[in-house]
């Protein structure tokens, strides 16, 4: 098992460099980066500096890694979390909590629920 640190986030994966995959996938989601940067430049008060930032080529939302709109990548992240000996098969809410400790995207809880519904052991 490999542990990789980005900012204060410790991402544990099973031999998969998920952060590198996220960096490469970001090109598909440049709209998010442009909107966030535009909001910062316009000094929109609803967007706090700590809410969105970019670090080492990764977008972070409130300290968690923003996962671009890449369905295969999102499913892989859920699967990697689901298949761990400690958290695996813990049910929808434990899995959602585990995934969102390090990763975020719109609808993450719903997607975890859908994944868990397909698992007979959960």
Predicted confidence pLDDT, tens digits, the chain (122 residues): 444 445 444 454 555 588 888 888 865 666 676 766 776 677 654 455 567 777 777 888 888 899 988 899 999 999 888 877 776 677 888 889 989 999 999 999 999 999 999 887 77
d(CA 46, CA 39): 9
Residue corresponding to tokens 């813990």? 90
pTM: 0.73
Helix (H) or strand (E) holding 99, with range, is helix 92-100
Give the angle 58-10-88 at the CA atoms, nearest 5°.
110
Question: What does CATH list as the number for 2-117?
Answer: 1.10.340
């Amino acid at each position: 098992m490999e542990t990789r640190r980005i900012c204060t986030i410790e991402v544990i994966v099973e031999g998969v460099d998920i952060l590198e995959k996220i960096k490469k996938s970001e090109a598909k989601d440049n709209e998010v980066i442009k909107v966030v940067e535009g909001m910062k430049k316009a000094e929109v008060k609803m967007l706090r500096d700590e809410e969105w930032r970019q670090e080492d080529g990764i977008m972070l939302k409130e300290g968690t890694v923003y996962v671009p709109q890449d369905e295969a990548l999102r499913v892989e992240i859920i699967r990697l979390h689901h298949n761990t000996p400690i958290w695996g098969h813990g049910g929808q809410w434990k899995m959602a909590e585990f995934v969102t400790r390090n990763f975020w995207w719109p609808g993450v809880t719903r997607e975890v629920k859908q994944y868990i519904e397909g698992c007979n052991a959960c």
